[in-house]
Amino acid sequence: MSDLVIATQGLVKVYSKVRAVDGLNLSVQRGAVYGFLGRNGAGKTTTMKMLLGLARPTSGQAQVLGLDISRHRVEILRRTAFVGENKALYDQLTPAEMVRFTRNFYPGWSDAAAEKCARQLEIPMQQKFGKLSKGNRAKVWLLLALAQGAELFLFDEPTAGLDPFMNDALLKLLAEDAASEGRTIFFSSHHLAEVEQICDWVGIVDEGRMLLEARLDDIREHYRLVIAAGRDLPVGKTAPVVAAARNGQFSRYLLARDAEAFAARLRGQGAAVTQVSPMSLREVFLELVRKEESCTSGNAGATPAVAF
Amino acid sequence: MYFWKCWRDTRGCFLILLGALLAAGAFAAYVKFDPFGWIAAKPMDLRILWQGLATALLDTTAITVPVAGGLFLGALGVGMEFEKGTADFLLTRPRTRRYFLWTSWGLGAAQSVVLVLLGCLFRFARLGVRPVKGPGEFFRLLVALCTLALFCYTVTYLMTTLARNSRNGMALAILAISGYEGLYAWLRFWYEIKIPFFLDLLRTPGADADFSFTPVAGWLTVCLALMLVAQFRLDWAEV
């Protein structure tokens, strides 16, 4: 448990009749760069809000840095840096004033890190926040987070609004500075390419449930798509099947490992296996969140990744 | 530093109100001392009119500015963060929500008291009653006005926290205060039932011996209770 920086068990958040998060189990290892992926409304932002005490779980448990989120909110916030989704800050303050305002909250604040970040991201420090572009606003949030000296970074779509050049500069900052110092980065994004660029773990959520949590290297090396034609083929999610779907006489399987053995088993049941192919993160993501008839998906065979 | 940020948020409003008081004070001082002899040169009835105008202006501003200050400053409390979309930033700083609530409330309360104090000083200076000469009257008015201003400020602060919006908070506060006035009038004039009324603070007799802390303590307790409601609301607020 001590190696987990974020751990949730059956986390649920219900807004009126909507289950924004529905029994989420999440495990983020210390030092990981974890990409939290999902479609719009999958529950990513709500999960982050619950981890930071901005929203209260309806049920379930969660620990951040080994501390219970419902009882140690301030201590968690002291050791965690956050970049929010909407990137709003005080319009009348300049980024330099925001730095002065924020640094007193954090004993581990680094002025050197703030200056480096401002320089690399080319932030106009003396311009009022209200007059900054959307991209520059995102950069100010990032500066305030990166200079805190936090153990854990929670970023909710940190690169939204940044141009490709700045996107790269930010990812470089994250990869070089934060990740290299053994800090944990947990960030949500829609950009699979940037997740592939810096992450070593990914979690894919949909409708508030964790569909897959695995090392990115494992996905690249072991995950396979198996397509088979035949009658009465299984569509269950027994390991190593992570997701299965049937469309007419064709069945699609996303396997976490042992794809060839699984294909041989299907052939043994009289199926014609038409494809066994490696998958990119993008393909895994699309396969998991695909909405098809008789589609089932689950975490089977994927967690923990070290078991592969 | 949060105190500094609260000051940045409220200083514009506070300085405008302070400016209004200073302008009224300057006008009253001009009429009183007449440095260029312009008023002395006017006919007697006009001189009386100028003197009356200065006194009325100071009397009015000494009451309306702190009350208006209560309403405006209360609307700039921590509830405004939700409206501006900055609540997720502020509430992820490592402090308790109570810290943010009471710090911002404390600054606004101090500003309200400064406005009251200045208004009272100008008023008494105009009337020629020095605090040391008439301590009872000065003290009574000061305490009563402070309590009244704090009450208006706290009601608005609570409503802004409940509504998560400055404008709605202020509108709700005006509605709540007017509603209470209406209830007071209705009970008093239809049923002859007298309930505590905040404007009674200003109607207590002026003599030292007659001054009672009970209504002041009562209304300050009401303020504390309202702030506890605001604290509960903020503690449970989701962003």
CATH (domain of A143): 3.40.50.300
ipTM above 0.90, yes or no: no
Q: A164 and A269: one domain?
A: no
SS (H, E, C) A46-105: HHHHHHCCCCCCCEEEEEECCEECCCCHHHHHHCEEEECCCCCCCCCCCHHHHHHHHHCC
| A207 & A77 share domain | yes
A55 and A197 share one domain:
yes
Domain assignment present for residue A84? The answer is yes
CA distance linking residue A253 with residue A244, whole number of Å: 4
**Residues A273, A192 share a domain:** no
The predicted-structure confidence for A88-108, as pLDDT tens digits, reads as follows 999 999 999 999 999 999 999
Domain that holds residue A175: 4-214
Whether A74 sits inside 8 A of B95 (CB atoms) is: yes
Tell me whether residues A86 and B236 touch, CB distance under 8 A. no
Percent of chain A with pLDDT over 90: 53
C-beta of residue B71 within 8 angstroms of C-beta of residue B65: no
CA distance B235 to chain A (A): 10
pLDDT for res A306: 32
Contact B158, B78 (CB under 8 A): no
Beta bridge partners of A186: A34, A154
Pairwise CA distance, residues B127 & A185, whole Å: 67
| Shared domain check, A128 and A82 | yes
Select from A182, A214, A246 the last residue of a domain: A214
pLDDT band at B210 (very low <50, low <70, confident <90, very high): low
CA dist., res. A118 & res. A125, Å (int)? 8
Contact B1/A105, CB-based, under 8 Å? Answer: yes
Triad A79, A83, A87: Cα angle to 5° = 150
Structural tokens at position B133: 């000469």
- Residue A101 inside a domain? The answer is yes
Count of domains forming chain A: 2
Q: Are residues A143 and A85 in the same domain?
A: yes
Per-residue model confidence (pLDDT) at position A245? 85
CB distance A55–B239 less than 8 Å?
Answer: yes
pLDDT tens-digit series, residues B83-92: 999 999 999 9
Q: Label residue A128 by pLDDT band (50, 70, 90).
A: very high
Domain boundary residue among A162, A179, A214? A214
In this structure, the answer to whether residues A190 and A238 fall within a common structural domain is no
A35 and A179 assigned to the same domain: yes
Q: Say whether pTM exceeds 0.90.
A: no
Q: Are residues A164 and A60 in the same domain?
A: yes
Would the pLDDT of B25 be above 70? yes
Residue A111 lies in a domain: yes
Q: Are A186 and A276 within one domain?
A: no
**B85, B93, B238 ranked by CB distance to A105: nearest:** B93
Quick one: DSSP state of residue A124? -
Chain B residue closest in CA terms to A45: B239
The answer to the question of residue A308 being in a domain is no
Contact criterion met (CB below 8 Å) for A255 and A240 = yes
Domain ends where: A214, A232, A265? A214
- Quick one: A151 and A269 in the same domain? no
State whether A232 and A209 are in the same domain.
no
Within a domain: A176? yes
Query: What digits encode the pLDDT tens for the residues A180-226?
Result: 677 899 999 888 888 888 899 999 999 999 999 999 999 989 899 99
Residue A179 located in a structural domain? yes
